[in-house]
Amino acid sequence: MNIKCLAIDDEPLALKQIGSYIQKTPFLELAGLCNSALTALEHLSVSKTDLLFVDINMPDLSGMDFVKSLKEKPFIIFTTAYSEYAVEGFKVDAVDYLLKPFGYADFLKAANKVRSISELSTPPTEGVSGKDYLFVKADYKVLRIEFSEIVYIESMHEYVRIHLDNNKPVMTLLSLKTLEEQLPSDRFMRVHRSFIVNSQKIKIVERNRIVFDKVYIPVSEQYKNVFQDFLNKNILG
């Protein structure tokens, strides 16, 4: 499956160059060319995009501020003439950044990073792959997480924190809804707008709260009936 790309740059020649590089790369698909971040926002509101090539230095709204403003972030590759922006770029979880002027070889190297992460981080679809693990991006790495390791998952606005048995939590840029749709429903249960729990890890329920060591996960009214059905099916006597 091709990666849909949007290029954003206020310099016409630079924008044309990136567009031509995208078109000559077999696994990339050019979704559009935008000469400002504001135009790009309009494009993203109506069309799904997998990867953004974003110039950092643009009038009205900089590429960095533009990326920070996005609620759902595609893969990001920054382009800039200033190397000092590299560290700041990685702080917003950019996959790579290209220092202008750059050639096709550097462009392809960055694009291949996105392809590798995309292939690894696609969670399995229930009932199709039969896998019992997923890959997520965290700390500039791609991590494999076994379903059996997950205790519960907590929403942190634009991120989720995956709490694991005997390991420190993993933070990754995903929505809880996206993750819920990919996890097997016979093992994972939404109990609150901010929490998904591994039903196989539930050992104590106290006053409509699930207890994991010293952590109390509330069961909200919205999910109370589903959770009670789960308990009724598993309580003896």
The predicted pLDDT at position 92 comes to 64
Asked if residues 17 and 9 have their Cβ atoms less than 8 Å apart, the reply is no
The pairing of strands 159-164 and 167-172 is: antiparallel
pTM passes above 0.75: no
Query: Which two structure tokens, joined as six digits, stand for 112?
Result: 């291949």
Query: Which two structure tokens, joined as six digits, stand for 157?
Result: 């606005």
- CA distances from residue 216 to 50, 65, 152, 198, 219 in whole angstroms, order as listed: 36, 36, 11, 14, 10
Rounded-to-integer distance, Cα 22 and Cα 112, Å: 12
Residue with tokens 């950044």: 97
The predicted pLDDT at position 91 comes to 54
Asked if residues 114 and 3 have their Cβ atoms less than 8 Å apart, the reply is yes
Of 119, 121, 148, 118, the C-alpha closest to 132 is: 148
- With vertex at residue 202, the alpha carbon angle to CA 196 and CA 204, rounded to the nearest 5 degrees, is 125
The predicted pLDDT at position 28 comes to 93
Residue 188, φ and ψ in degrees, nearest 5: -125, 140
One-letter amino acid at 131 equals K
Asked if residues 81 and 57 have their Cβ atoms less than 8 Å apart, the reply is yes
- CA distances from residue 46 to 3, 42, 49, 71, 107 in whole angstroms, order as listed: 17, 7, 10, 14, 27
73: pLDDT strictly greater than 90:
no
Asked if residues 8 and 61 have their Cβ atoms less than 8 Å apart, the reply is no
For residue 79, the surrounding DSSP H or E stretch is strand 75-80
Number of Cβ within 10 Å of residue 137's Cβ equals 20
7-28 pLDDT tens trace: 999 999 999 999 999 999 988 9
Round the average pLDDT of the chain to a whole number and report it: 86
Delineate the domains of the chain, giving CATH numbers in brackets: 3-121 (3.40.50.2300), 133-234 (2.40.50.1020)
The predicted pLDDT at position 126 comes to 42
Q: How many CA atoms lie within 13 A of 209 on its CB side?
A: 10
